[in-house]
Structure formats: C-alpha cells, structure tokens
Chain A
Amino acid sequence: MNIANLKRVSSITLLSMLLIIVILVATGTGAMHMSPMQVLAILLGKTGIHLPVAYEENMPGVLWMIRLPRVVLSVLIGAGLGLAGASLQGLFRNPLADPGLIGVSSGASMAAVVMIIVQNALPVFQHAPILNYYALNMAAFAGAVITTLVIFHVARTGGQAVISTLLLAGIAVRALCESVVGLMTYLANNEQLRSISFWSLGSLGGASWQTVGGVAPFILIPLIMLPRLAPALNLMALGEREAMHSGVRIPRLKALLVVLATMAVAAGVAVAGIIGFIGLIVPHMVRQFTGPDYRSLIPGAALSGAVLLTVADLLSRTIVAPAELPVGIITAIIGAPFFLWLIIKEKRTILA
C-alpha cells in the first residue's frame, strides 16, 4: 500500500470513528436525560439482550421513536449534502460550488412555499388528509428535481452542458425562484408566513422512521455511486479536454453527477427544509486533511457532512431547550466564520 492510499484509508477510518462517537453522544443527549448505559440497555433491549440497567418506563419510546430517527435523519441528510457538495465542486472545477448552484434548494423552496399558500385552497387536499401531510415534502422534492433539470437543459448545447452556461442558467433560474418565493411571502397570511420562515430555516424536528425510510434510498444510491466517479473527477480536475483524452465520457459524467447530487440533496431538503453551508464548507474542510484526491474527498465529505449536521442538530435541540433553534441557523453560524477562516488561511499560504 503506498503512502497516498494509507493516508486515504486512515482519514476515512478517523472520520468514521468520529461519526460513531458523535452518533453515540447525540443519541444520549436531549431534553430527557439518559445515561450512556441506559441508552445501550434500551437499544440492546430491542434485540432481546437485557442488561441489568434500570430506566424509566417512557425512555425507550422517546429514544426509539423520537431521538434515534432524528439522529439517523441528520446523519443521512448531512451525508447527502456533503456528498453533493464535493461532487459538484468537482463538476464545476471550482471550490466555491455548492448544491445551491444547480438550483436544488431554490427550486425546493419555491415549490414548498407555493404549496404552503395553495394547500388550503385546493379541494383535493381537504379530501385526503394523508396527501395533505406529505404534500409539502413531495412538492419540495419535485421542485428541486424539476429546477435542476430545467437548468441542465438550458445549459445543454450540442449534447453536453457547458459549465459556464450551467452557472449562468443556474443564476437566472434561481433569481426566478426567489422572486416567486417573494411573491408568495407577500400573499401569505400570518400562519402561512410562519410556516414559510420555519421551513426556510430548516429543521429536523418532525423526524420519524417513516421520513428516514423515505429519505434513505435517495441518499444511499449516490453514496454508492458517486465514489465510483472519483477517478473520472480526478481527471476532470486537470481540465475537461485532458479528461476526455484520458477516456472519460464527459457528457455522461456530467449528467450522472447532476442527477446523483440532486438526489442526495433534494430528499433531504424535502423533509428538513433548507440547511445551508454544509454542502459548501464540508468539502473544504475535508480537503485540508485528505488533499484534492476525489477518491478520499467524496467519502470524507459524506462522513464529515453527517458529523457536522448531527452536531448542529444536537445543538439546535439543546441550546434553547425546551424550544428549538432552526438547524439552518446553526449550520450558518458555525459555517460562515469557519469559511472565512479557511479563506484567510489559504490566502496566507498563497502569499507565503
């Protein structure tokens, strides 16, 4: 095993261990106090192993039905955002790319906000309460996917998307989406306004095993597929033409990257709202440790995204308990200063 490989494996192992620790801490912490032993006893109890640890009657319910799905959901969504961020930075060959660039979040928020406003007016929803319940998630998901497809389609010339056109199309469509959100905000009543602001700040509060089940496939497929594209992304980093000469099928690669990244982000956005900054800063953070090799960057970004969002959600539900802070605020508060610090640091190394 050469040194690069060794470094890759060790950083992935380190991040995996960190994720496990974070999951254990997050599962054990919350409004209802449980000791690590109690958590262990309850979880093992589910598999039929009974430890001689006493716990209160309603602890298993809270742990199993509320806290655990929430932690699992934050791991999944964080991983999805990190994954998408790293792969899109590869696609755009630009470290400032994030899932927002291809319109995922703006499309999702537009559709969700429109749904918030029209939901009460549409008779369909009054007759089918179940539909009503999931309408927002489905709309957000559809909005994210459709917007991305529109941007990708606009940018396509002669069978493949030109990156600079993709960026421009992204800017235009995002501006359009944002103005629709603005219009809807204007039309909204008090209650709807509250839902809109709540949604656009992101929250993992409603997590259940059902939402976990709904999100999981959309993140697991990119999680398996994207690392396979890493060698091609490494070649892309040299330049599109160079990559093409090395046998990379560029149009196919671009399409796959956009589809997989959209999948990874859209499902998360649909159930948790807009969670900013993870897709942008996580790949940077990871690059500090692993270097620019996408073979370690992509899995590393997935793991770090999971760690970061789980920590952010833990903070969101404990800082101002019994109330909850929207998790999007926390990721931005942690993310923005960190990002600044990275920029300053990088500037120094360039000058030195």
Chain B
Amino acid sequence: MTNHMRIRVMIVSFAACLLVVLNVSAQQRIVSLNGAVTEIVCALGFERSLVGVDVTSTYPAAMKEVTKVGHNRNISAEPVLALQPDLILATDNFIQASVIDQFKAVGVKTVQMKQEFSVAGTKKLITDVAAALNVPEKGAALIRQLDKEQKTLHVKAQPKKVLFIYARGAGTMMVAGKETPLDKIISLAGAQNAANGFNDFKPLTPEALVTANPDVILMFEDGLKSMGGVDGLLKVQGVAQTNAGKQKKVITMDGQLLTGFGPRVIQAVQELSVKLN
C-alpha cells in the first residue's frame, strides 16, 4: 500500500465515521408537546434529547430546566421550530391542525398520537412513542413493567362519590364531568364521579354542587392553594352544605400525576385510592 493510498483510506474512513456520528446524533433533538408523552420519552431514556416541552410537562423534575414552548392549547409553530428539533411529538387532543401542518410543511418529522385516558390507552401511547423513537423493545419493556405494577395494584371498590374541582382562584372553578381524565381515574380508584350528568368540564354552580353532594372533594395541590386552602374552599357557596364540606374531606394530588395517564398511571391510581380511604 502506497502512502498516497493510505491517506486516501484514512480520509474515507474518517468520512464514514463522521457519517455514522451524524446519523446517531440525528433524532437527538426532540420537542414534546404533552406531559404524558414527555414522561414516556424520559422513561425510555431520551431525557437528554428533549430540547423543548409544553407547560404540562412537569415531571421528571429535570424538565424544569428544559425550554418551555408554551401552553399545550396555544402552541405556535415558530418557537418550537426555533429549537431546531428533528422530531416533534404531540397528541391529537389539543394542538391546532394548522400548526401541525406548519411543522410538516417545514419538513420536521412530526408524530401525532392518540391519547386515551385508560391504562390500555397509556400502554398504546408508550408503544407509539417508542415506535417514533425507533426503540420498540424499550417500549415493550416499559409496558411489561406497567403490567407488573398493575398486578400488585389493589383497589377496593368504595361507594364514595368524588367531585373534582379545578380551581384557579375563587373566580375560576370548574367541575369534571364524564369523558374527562378525572372521571376515568376516579373510577379506576374504585369510587364514582359525583358529576355524571354531563361530559367535559362545566362551571361550578352552588346548587349543582349541593345536588351532586360529593363525599370527597378532589383537587390539584396548586388548585386548593389558589383557593386559600380548605378554609377558603369552604367559603365557596354550596361547599359547606355537601357531605365532603361537612366533614372537611378534601384531598389533593399533583395535577400531572393525577390526570397525565403517563407511565405513572398505576402509581396515580394507587395514591388516589389510598387517599380516598
């Protein structure tokens, strides 16, 4: 082999190495626009690849350091694309179709997944995210772990009526009806939703509250805080007249844990069921 040839081989192999490195570093910049998807991405070991998340992505704690691209219902395309992502992950329940079209028009790989609020839905979401990240086997492992957790889960059915109140101060109070993640998780925890006459969220009215007469009021931790704690909540018209109000039975949970339906869904069911007892 002449010197000349040797140099040539070196250059070619260097270029090949560079190509491999580039290929590996491709798909290293991910933006997730859903809290549950973010949890799954992290659980699959891609935490360091996340360069942007929406405001519902509050778990794991490291997500506090990641750039926030806005509220998941009000995402605009450019701030997301400014992070130079190779992959955008979103669910189909919030983001506007025109924004998804803009992502695709620019040619960034965008995967939109269906989110169903059930344990099976979580497993499906894990499969979808793992497929988008090209690590189906890791997804399968995560699902097996979830199955294992599910086997150890003991939920005691209890005839308690639970009312979820979403609060951002006394002015904004909504209750969760059917077809909401809260309705689903309350039934998974063995209790029943006190507000079952309607779908979606509805503004809270004192009469409806007394009629529903919940045994337990369920709130997000920061939601109860915004009301000034249990005492503040009891001042809301109607609350004191319910069973829950009379016995001061108010329980709180972390919002993303309670409604996320991510990999921690079993943990959430367990925690809620314990708190209900």
Decide yes or no whether B13 CB sits under 8 A from chain A. Answer: no
Q: Are B76 and A133 in contact (CB under 8 A)?
A: no
Q: Are A208 and B78 in contact (CB under 8 A)?
A: no
Residues 8 to 24 of chain B near chain A (Cβ within 8 Å):
none
Q: Are A62 and B78 in contact (CB under 8 A)?
A: yes
Contact of A205 among B69, B73, B98, B199 (CB under 8 A): B98
Decide yes or no whether B134 CB sits under 8 A from chain A. Answer: no
Sort A-B residue pairs by CB-CB distance and give the 7 closest, nearest first. Answer: A206-B98, A322-B79, A61-B106, A32-B82, A31-B79, A31-B82, A65-B105
Decide yes or no whether A335 CB sits under 8 A from chain B. Answer: no
Residues 308 to 350 of chain A near chain B (Cβ within 8 Å):
317, 321-324
Q: Are B78 and A31 in contact (CB under 8 A)?
A: yes
Residues of chain B within 8 A of A208, CB atoms compared: 98, 101-102, 105
- The distance in angstroms between the C-alpha atoms of A61 and B80, with both chains bound, is 13
Q: Mark B142-161, 1 if CB is under 8 A from A, else 0.
A: 00000000000000000000
Chain A residues packing against B (C-beta within 8 Å): 30-33, 56-58, 61-62, 65-67, 133, 189-191, 194, 198, 205-206, 208, 317, 321-324
Q: Are A189 and B200 in contact (CB under 8 A)?
A: yes
Residues of chain B within 8 A of A189, CB atoms compared: 199-201
- The distance in angstroms between the C-alpha atoms of A133 and B78, with both chains bound, is 21
Contact of B78 among A30, A191, A194 (CB under 8 A): A30
Residues of chain A within 8 A of B101, CB atoms compared: 206, 208
A-B contact pairs, 13 of them (CB 8 A): A30-B82, A31-B81, A32-B81, A58-B106, A58-B108, A61-B105, A67-B78, A191-B200, A206-B98, A206-B101, A208-B101, A322-B68, A322-B70
Decide yes or no whether B99 CB sits under 8 A from chain A. Answer: yes
**Distance of B68 from chain A, by nearest CB (Å):** 7
Decide yes or no whether B5 CB sits under 8 A from chain A. Answer: no
- The distance in angstroms between the C-alpha atoms of A32 and B67, with both chains bound, is 14
- The distance in angstroms between the C-alpha atoms of A198 and B96, with both chains bound, is 11
Measured CB to CB, the nearest residue on chain A to B77 is: A66
Q: Are B97 and A324 in contact (CB under 8 A)?
A: no
Measured CB to CB, the nearest residue on chain A to B179 is: A189
Q: Are A322 and B106 in contact (CB under 8 A)?
A: no
**Distance of A318 from chain B, by nearest CB (Å):** 10
Q: Are A133 and B106 in contact (CB under 8 A)?
A: no
**Distance of B112 from chain A, by nearest CB (Å):** 13
Q: Are A62 and B76 in contact (CB under 8 A)?
A: no
Residues of chain A within 8 A of B45, CB atoms compared: none
Contact flag A66-B105 (CB < 8 Å), given A31-B79, A321-B79, A323-B74: yes
- The distance in angstroms between the C-alpha atoms of A111 and B119, with both chains bound, is 40
Q: Are B201 and A66 in contact (CB under 8 A)?
A: no
Decide yes or no whether B107 CB sits under 8 A from chain A. Answer: yes
- The distance in angstroms between the C-alpha atoms of A31 and B106, with both chains bound, is 15
Contact of A190 among B76, B102, B106, B174 (CB under 8 A): B174
Excluding A57-B84, A61-B81, 10 further A-B contacts by CB distance (< 8 Å) are A31-B81, A56-B84, A58-B81, A61-B105, A61-B107, A67-B78, A206-B96, A317-B76, A317-B78, A322-B67
Q: Are B102 and A66 in contact (CB under 8 A)?
A: yes
Measured CB to CB, the nearest residue on chain A to B104 is: A65
- The distance in angstroms between the C-alpha atoms of A67 and B79, with both chains bound, is 11
Contact of A206 among B74, B99, B107, B174 (CB under 8 A): B99
- The distance in angstroms between the C-alpha atoms of A61 and B98, with both chains bound, is 16
Q: Are B79 and A133 in contact (CB under 8 A)?
A: no
Q: Mark B91-122, 1 if CB is under 8 A from A, else 0.
A: 00000111101100111100000000000000
**Distance of B259 from chain A, by nearest CB (Å):** 14
Contact flag A62-B99 (CB < 8 Å), given A189-B200, A324-B74: no
**Distance of A279 from chain B, by nearest CB (Å):** 25
- The distance in angstroms between the C-alpha atoms of A324 and B80, with both chains bound, is 12
Measured CB to CB, the nearest residue on chain A to B166 is: A190
Residues of chain A within 8 A of B97, CB atoms compared: 133
- The distance in angstroms between the C-alpha atoms of A206 and B78, with both chains bound, is 11
Residues of chain B within 8 A of A62, CB atoms compared: 78, 81-82, 106
